[in-house]
Amino acid sequence: MRSAIITIGDEILIGQVTDTNAVWISQQLNSIGVQVGEMVTVSDEAGQINATLDRYIGKYDLLIMTGGLGPTNDDITKQTLAAYFNSKMVTVQEVKDKISAYFKERGRSMIESNLLQAEVPEVCRVLMNNHGSAPGMWFEKDGTILISLPGVPYEMKGLMEDHVIPELISRNNVPHVVHRTIMTQGVPESYLAAMLRDWEKALPECVKLAYLPRPGIVRLRLTIVDKCAIDAEQILDVTIAKLLDIIPEHVFGYDDISLEESLGELLRDRGLTLASAESCTGGNIARMITSVPGSSSYYSGSVIAYENRIKSGVLGVNSQVIEDKGAVSREVVEQMARGVREVLGTDTAISTSGIAGPDGGSNEKPVGTTWICVQNGEESYAKVYRFGGTRERIIDQASYTALQLLRRLLLKNL
């Protein structure tokens, strides 16, 4: 089954809103073996929507369209689809009742435009929305399924999970696909590819490999389709075991687990607590760690020691050491980590001090120079890095590297 994703919205075309829906939908379709051939964004204009449908209906088996189903005058998708399919609009009582109940449960008054969302083209099959007021719509024409969904992400996802994915699977016309994603940190994509060249050449014919990089992280996605699917789990287990023999220190988890989640699981399993002392990362490490539900069971807090007087006055870093060695030095990050462990009474600690830029660098310590220290009791490890890119990218790379270093220290894999 081949598909395309159509996003409707002027706000996306002018850069006011980022389209995360298409990426998520693509991931879900890919996971069940539906190939996504194109993604397109079109304006809130009937002519643009009609022209896009003309191009894609009959070309693809499945079209998923998001956006333009709200209660305001600029939301024209339903009316455009009704005209395109030569259908009149009808009120679906079940949808009307559900919209009324939705607003009543939330103690909100409902206006006439909200009730108009119960009107849909007569030729469509309604997909009941249990997460909002706009129903989804299922059309079929010339061998193409067209599904129109709200642009609100949690409503769209709910309709996909409640209706779309189950029905696509039940139709039995999608290939069986097995994915496994290996999460790595600490090696850029090009270097990682070089390290894995022989392993990649030896992959079984039915295993496909994709490198999916983002700042500080490279995901390795292994995919098996159809002919090997019956033995997929065994094939992937053997393939991943060989990978771990090559880069054990860089793998931190599987299937899109985040680095902060992986570290949190390790700390929780070992009954350890953590604190962070951040200079150049400015609290980003704390933000990452606390984004994980339940992190209060192992994370005590952070001291953002941006100024040297905070490093000395709060964390007890020797001011003479700062003067002699500089704030960006091994000695300083080691004392920062020790100090935050003592101040917050934790078992482990992370500390960072660096030059995130764009100014402040020197020949000896250029922008991107970052010292990171991790400690577990009396065990301590500190290392300097030279990160590149923008200020934001440097901060992200330093944060990911710090979390992975602590994992490696706890696993005795440094």
Q: What is the pLDDT of residues 345-371, one digit of tens each?
A: 999 999 999 999 999 999 999 999 999
Judging by beta carbons within 10 Å of its beta carbon (0-12, 13-18, 19+), is residue 254 exposed, middle or buried? middle
Q: What confidence score (pLDDT) does residue 175 get?
A: 62
Angle at 96 between CA 95 and CA 101, to 5 degrees: 95
> In three state form, how does the secondary structure of 160-196 look?
HHHHHHHHHHHCCCCCCEEEEEEEEECCCHHHHHHHC
Give alpha helix (H) positions in 44-92. 46-56, 77-84
Whether omega for the bond prior to residue 358 falls within 30 degrees of 0, making it cis, is yes
Instruction: Give tens-digit pLDDT for 261-302.
Output: 999 999 999 999 999 999 999 999 999 999 999 999 999 999
Q: Indicate the pLDDT class of residue 225, thresholds 50, 70 and 90.
A: confident
Domains annotated on the chain, with CATH: 2-170 (3.40.980.10), 177-254 (3.30.70.2860), 259-410 (3.90.950.20)
pLDDT at 357: 92
